[in-house]
A = this chain, B = another copy of it.
Amino acid sequence: MELHKLYSSLAIRSDRKIVVLLIDGLGGLSHRDYGYKTELEYAKHPNLDRLASCGATGLLTPVLPGVTPGSGPAHLALFGLDPISFQIGRGVLEALGIGIVPEPTDVLARGNFCTVDAQGAIVDRRAGRISTHISEELLALLRNIHVPGSDIELHAVQDHRFVLRLKGTGLDGDIANTDPGMVGTKPKRAKALTPRAETTAEIVNAFVDQSFDRLKDQSNGNALVLRGFSMLPAIPSLQELYGLRSAALAPYPMYKGLARVVGMNILDCGNTFPDQLRALERHWEKYDYFFIHYKYTDSCGEDGDFLSKVNHIETLDSSIGPLVRLDPAVLAVTGDHSTPAALKSHSWHPVPLLLVAPTCRRDGSTAFTETVCATGALGHMESKYLMGLLLAHALRLEKFGA
Residues of A in contact with B (beta carbons under 8 Å apart): 1, 3, 6-7, 10, 27-30, 36, 38, 59, 63-74, 83-84, 87-90, 92-94, 228, 342-343, 345-350, 359-364, 370-371, 374-377, 379-381, 385, 387-393, 397-402
- Which among B1, B363, B402 is the interface contact of A93 at CB below 8 angstroms? B402
Check B65 against A30 for contact (C-beta < 8 Å): no
Give the distance in Å from the alpha carbon of A392 to the alpha carbon of B267 in the complex. Answer: 37
* Contact with A377, one of B346, B348, B374, B398 (Cβ below 8 angstroms): B374
Q: Enumerate chain B residues within 8 angstroms of A342, measured Cβ to Cβ.
A: 359
Question: Is A362 a contact partner of B69 (Cβ separation < 8 A)?
Answer: no
Whether the pair A388, B69 counts as a contact (CB closer than 8 A) is no
- Determine how close the nearest CB of chain B comes to the CB of A238; give it in whole angstroms: 15
Once A66-B389, A66-B397, A67-B397 are accepted as A-B contacts, the answer to whether A349 and B361 lie under 8 Å apart by CB is: yes
Verify A73–B364 contact, CB threshold 8 A. Answer: no
Cα–Cα, bound, A30→B377 (Å): 12
Are A400 and B63 interface neighbours, CB within 8 A? yes
Q: Across the interface, which residues of B come within 8 angstroms of A392, CB to CB?
A: 65-68, 347-348
Residue of B at shortest CB range from A337?
B399
Q: Which residues does chain B contribute within 8 Å of A73, judged by CB atoms?
A: 400-401
Is A68 in contact with B398, judged by CB distance below 8 angstroms? yes
Task: Check B346 against A399 for contact (C-beta < 8 Å).
Answer: yes
Residues of B near A68 (CB, < 8 A) are 392, 397-400
- Which residues on B sit within 8 Å (CB–CB) of A74? 401
Q: Using known A-B contacts A84-B6, A362-B36, determine if residue A374 contacts B375 with beta carbons closer than 8 Å.
A: yes
Shortest C-beta distance, A235 to chain B (Å), equals 14
The reply to whether B375 and A64 contact each other, CB–CB distance below 8 Å, is: no
- What residues of B have a CB within 8 angstroms of the CB of A70 in the complex? 399-402
B398 touches A361 (CB 8 A): no
Asked whether, in the complex, the Cβ of B364 is within 8 Å of the Cβ of A371, the reply is yes
Cβ–Cβ < 8 Å partners of A388 in chain B = 64-67
A349's nearest neighbour on chain B, judged by CB, is B361
* Neighbouring B residues of A10 by C-beta, 8 Å: 67
Contact B385 A374, beta carbon cutoff 8 Å: no
Question: Which listed residue (B30, B64, B389) contacts A385, Cβ 8 A?
Answer: B64
| Given A84-B6, A350-B379, A374-B379: A362 and B30 interface contact (C-beta under 8 Å) | yes
| Chain A to chain B contacts (Cβ below 8 Å), 29 pairs | A1-B84, A3-B64, A29-B359, A29-B360, A36-B362, A66-B389, A66-B391, A66-B392, A67-B388, A67-B397, A68-B400, A69-B399, A69-B401, A70-B401, A72-B402, A73-B400, A87-B401, A93-B402, A343-B359, A345-B399, A346-B399, A347-B359, A348-B389, A350-B377, A350-B379, A361-B370, A364-B371, A374-B379, A380-B380
Residue contact B6 to A348, C-beta cutoff 8 Å: no
Which residues of the partner chain B approach A397 to less than 8 Å between Cβ atoms? Answer: 66-68, 348
- Would you call A402 and B7 a contact (CB within 8 A)? no
B371-A401 in contact (CB<8A): no
Q: Closest residue to A350 on the B side, CB-wise?
A: B379
> Which residue of B72, B360, B376, B402 contacts A90 across the interface (Cβ within 8 Å)?
B402
In the complex, chain B residues whose CB is within 8 Å of the CB of A385? 64-66
CB distance from A363 to the nearest CB of B (A): 6
CB distance from A329 to the nearest CB of B (A): 14
Residues of B within 8 A of A391 (CB): 66
Q: Would you give the shortest CB distance from A258 to chain B, in whole angstroms?
A: 11
| A64 cross-chain contacts in B, Cβ below 8 A | 3, 6, 385, 388
A360 to B38 alpha-carbon distance, docked (Å): 11
Nearest neighbor of A389 in chain B, beta-carbon distance = B66
For A66, the chain B residues whose CB sits under 8 A away are 7, 385, 387-393, 397
Bound-complex Cα distance A398 to B387 (A): 27
Given contact pairs A65-B388, A66-B388, a sample of 8 additional A-B residue pairs in the complex whose CB atoms are under 8 Å apart: A59-B379, A63-B400, A65-B389, A67-B392, A68-B392, A70-B402, A72-B401, A93-B402
